Amino acid sequence: MAAYAVAAGQAVLVAALAPWLLGWMRAVRARLEGRAGGRFGQPWRDLRKQLRKEPITPADAGVFFVAAPPVLMATSLLIAGAAPYVSTRGPLSGVADLVVVVGLLLLGTVALALAGLDTGTAFGGMGASREMTIAALVEPTLLLAVFALSTRVGSTDLAAIVAAGAADPARVISPVGALAAAALAVAVLAESGRLPVDNPSTHLELTMVHEAMVLEYAGRDLALVEWAAAMRLSILLGLLATLFLPWGVATSLHPAALAGATALFAVKVFALGGLLAAGEVFLAKVRLFRVPELLAGSFVLGLLAVLTASVLA
């Protein structure tokens, strides 16, 4: 029972933190660019505003358009609850292995891409086609990078990997860890639609990837999509943080350990988010046809990580 409470708590934690993380990253970037920028809480205010407005469905849209926001939100909540962010003793450990997590991420992506196609607008289809191109290159990298970490544990269960890392942090700092971290970092950038793959702050429809798919959403639906997208960023940064900086993740269900782990998780995610935002200041968006080169590079890193892991093991 306590395990389920922890899982629910994790989901709530990620859902609550995600908009703050976005606000924090925007603030970091604004400051580094010499702008005043908006307030930390602005994404939350935007969500509150959107949640009060009625959703509008395009005349030509069908079931995929209506279903995508709840599906996207549900997958995000499920990953947030299942992944070993705060505790490795979740109720779904043993089930929630890396294949499930990557599959759930992909389910959300596909749901949104179908919704983009479902609107029948050129922008929706354009965004969906670009998103699927990127997803087809990103998901294998995500799998490979985590798989490299799983070989030394002998399990694809994320909780087992993190628990092993938390027990022996020295093992994380290894050639395998470095290669996998690099591969995963690039995949995270692409999956969450950040520079240099996608520009989350653009208003130019023709250059959009993620935003182009969700142009037709309004009101509550838009709030759900944006919220879930923010959560996916937190989820991915959280994975990066727990897999490669597993210190402090609770391996028991002791309240003090859980509280400490929660605080540490927030700190790690915000630190990674700040780093990402700072890095983005120096980046521009690469030409769309260069994105596959970048992602192929990260795939090769992932492959090397797996090879290194099997050779060193």
Partner 1 sequence: MTVTATQVVDVTADTLADHARKLLDGGARLALVAAHHDPPDHPGGAAIRVVYLFTAGPPDRRTELHLRTDPDHPTVPSLAALSFPAGRFEREMHDLYGVHPQDHPLPRRLVRHPHWPHGWHPMRADAGPRPPLAATEPFPFLTVQGPGVYEIPVGPVHAGLIEPGHFRFSVVGETILKLKARLWYVHKGIEKLFEGQPAGSRVGLAERISGDTAVGHALAYSLAVEDALDIPVPAGAQRARAALLELERLHNHAADIGAICNDVGYGIAHAHTQRIREQLLRLNQRTTGHRLLRGAVFPGGTQLAEVPDPATVQAIAADLADLVATALRNTIVRDRLTGTATLTTTQAADIGTLGYVARASGLPLDARVAHPHTDLADLAGLTVPVYEDGDVRARFLVRADEVQASTALLASLLPSLTAGRTAAGAGAGAGSGSTAGSGSTAGSGSTAGSGSTAGSGSTAGSGSAAGAGSAADGPRSGVGIVEGWRGTVVHRVELRPDGTLTRVKVVDPSFLNWPALPVALANTIVPDFPLTNKSFNLSYAGNDL
Site residues, partner 1 (CB under 8 A): 29, 32-35, 122-123, 125-126, 195-196, 199, 201-207, 281-290
Contacts of residue 178, Cβ cutoff 8 Å, sequence gap at least 6 = none
Residue 8 or residue 126: which is nearer to partner 1 going by CB?
126
Instruction: Please say whether the beta carbons of 24 and 273 come within 8 A.
Output: yes
Residue 281 or residue 296: which is nearer to partner 1 going by CB?
281
Angle at 144 between CA 141 and CA 149, to 5 degrees: 130
**Smallest distance, partner 1 to C-beta of residue 130, A:** 8
Instruction: Please say whether the beta carbons of 156 and 119 come within 8 A.
Output: no
**Smallest distance, partner 1 to C-beta of residue 313, A:** 37
Of 67, 227, 94, residue with least CA distance to 155: 94
Gap between the Cα atoms of 62 and 50, Å rounded? 22
Q: What is the dihedral of CA 210, 213, 218, 220, to 10 degrees?
A: -70
**Smallest distance, partner 1 to C-beta of residue 129, A:** 8
Residue 62 or residue 292: which is nearer to partner 1 going by CB?
292
**Smallest distance, partner 1 to C-beta of residue 225, A:** 17
Residue 59 or residue 204: which is nearer to partner 1 going by CB?
204
Q: Is 157 helix (H, G, I), strand (E, B) or coil?
A: strand
**Smallest distance, partner 1 to C-beta of residue 203, A:** 4
Please return the burial class of 37, using the count of CB atoms within 10 Å of its CB with bins 0-12, 13-18 and 19+: middle
**Smallest distance, partner 1 to C-beta of residue 209, A:** 9
Residue 170 or residue 206: which is nearer to partner 1 going by CB?
206
Residue 33 or residue 168: which is nearer to partner 1 going by CB?
33
Of 312, 286, 20, residue with least CA distance to 179: 312
